[in-house]
Structures are given as C-alpha cells and as structure tokens.
Amino acid sequence: MGSAILEITIMLVVSAGLGFAVAWFIQKSKLDKLQAIYDKQVSDYNELNQEHNDLKDEMTALKSDLANVKADLQTSETNLTNANSEIEKQSTTITDMQTKVATLQTDLEEATSAHEKTKSELETANNKLNESRD
C-alpha cells in the first residue's frame, strides 16, 4: 500500500508537471505578445520622456530669450524716452533761436531803415552844404 501511494503521488506530480508544461506552452504565445506590448510601451515611454526633456530644455531656452528680449525692450523704451526728451529740448531751443532770429531780423530792418534815413539826411545835408558854399 505504501508503494501504491508513492506511485499515485509520483503520477500526480508528473501529471501536474505535464499540465503546467502544456499550460506554459499554450500561454507562451500570449506571454510573448504581452512582452512585445510591454516593450513597445516602455519604448514609447522612453521616447515621450526624451521628447518631454527636449521640450523642457527648449522652453528654458525660450524663457531665457524672452527675458533678454524684455530687457532689450526696456532698454529701447528708456532710450526712446530719453531721445524724445532730447528732441523736446532741441525743439524748444530751435523755437527760441527762431524767435531770436525774427527779433534780430526786425532789428536789422529797423537799423537798415534808420541807416537809409540817416544816409538820406546826410546826402541832404551835404547837398545843402555844397549849395551854401557855392
């Protein structure tokens, strides 16, 4: 009886081993498909992760460029404000100079008129002097 139990036990172990082997063989193709899907998922994840890192690097570079452009814009705005202020000063100076030129032009015209009058009076006086000598 002991040997019968041993035989039954051995047969059960062998049949269980054969059952597992057959099940493994049947499931092998499914496991291979699942492994291929898993490998594809890992590959896709790695590609997406690399693309994410590249985009983060590009975003950092673009943020740096944006900061530089903002600084340049601020400098340009300051320069423009200074230039407009200088233009306003120069415009005021030009207006003052135009006023002075107009005043000097008027003074010149008055002086020319006075000169002509004095010249005419001098000629008249010379003529009278010459007539009185004659």
Of residues 43 and 14, more confidence is placed in 43
**pLDDT tens sequence across 42-78:** 999 999 999 999 999 999 999 999 999 999 999 999 9
Q: What angle do CA 52, 36, 50 make, to 5 degrees?
A: 10
In the predicted structure, residue 18 carries a pLDDT above the cut 90? no
At 50, phi and psi to the nearest 5?
Answer: -65, -45
Distance (Å, rounded) from C-alpha 115 to C-alpha 119?
A: 6
Q: Which amino acid is at 68?
A: N
Token digits for 2?
């002991």
Length of the chain measured in residues: 134
DSSP 3: H
Token pair in block for residue 58: 């590009």
Sign of the alpha-carbon torsion through 89, 90, 93, 95? negative
pLDDT at 4 over 90: no
Has this prediction a pTM greater than 0.75? no
pLDDT confidence of residue 108: 92
